[in-house]
Structure 1
Amino acid sequence: MAERLTRAAACPCGGRPAGTPYLGCCGRYIAHLADTPAPDAEALMRSRYSAFVREDAAYLLATWHASTRPAALTLAPGVQWLGLQVRAHRRLDDTHAEVEFVARSRTGGARAQRLHERSRFVREQDAGAGRWFYVDGLLF
């Protein structure tokens, strides 16, 4: 079941800056995708992590680039997300960026696992300044 976050609850991504409440951090992008897109690739990646925590497959699909987006997304049940560490955010040019991160999770009583990925993002123009999308990632 998706985690319910109160107005004062810290954002699952760790916050930007650290400790920022969910609704002032990733929540504004997830709740208002149509009119408040993430301003950069790091913010999008953080909001996608928060969407995984909340089991929000619709947001994950909506922020996945059409060239690599799956037709459907089934999230693994029982995953407990333990934390996110952003190691690097590189803007390659006006429309391409990479974010390297480590996300920790646990399923059931199993030992915690680490997902270390360098994700690629692309920004596509729309009526405003553009919208970032997750393309794919290289696992380490």
Structure 2
Amino acid sequence: MGVVQRFRALDRSVQVLLGVGLLGALSLVAVLVTVVLAAVIGSFVLGVGGPVQETAPQANIVASGVDTNDDGVVEQVTVRHEGGDHFTANAVVIAVRDEQSPWERYDSDVGDSVVVGDEAVIPGVESGDRIEVRHTETNSMLVSYTVP
């Protein structure tokens, strides 16, 4: 005997009771689905579920002046990745006298990523020049150095 035949064989009051119970269960499921959809859509509309903000790489970047002529004057600055996260080379700029250039301009050996041991050499600096290394994706400063 199938489900339909068993249902028809039940007393009329039992059929009504089962129908009301089934309808109540379906209504509860519909309400739960509606609440979940409203929460998801609302979070995106209000910006709660927006894109995750990038975080700056946690890298130890060190800048130091180099006296190439042994005359007591710094002629170039070396920026070195000494530890921590690696980062995409084109996501970092080096600013000298307000002119921004990608890391690759000063480090011809760099690959797609700047890793521990990579160095960028900035020639032709003068006393008072400010060298800044910035991560462009997060607009965060990795190192700042003023030539003595």
TM-score normalised by the chain length of structure 2:
0.20
Q: Which has the higher helix share?
A: 2
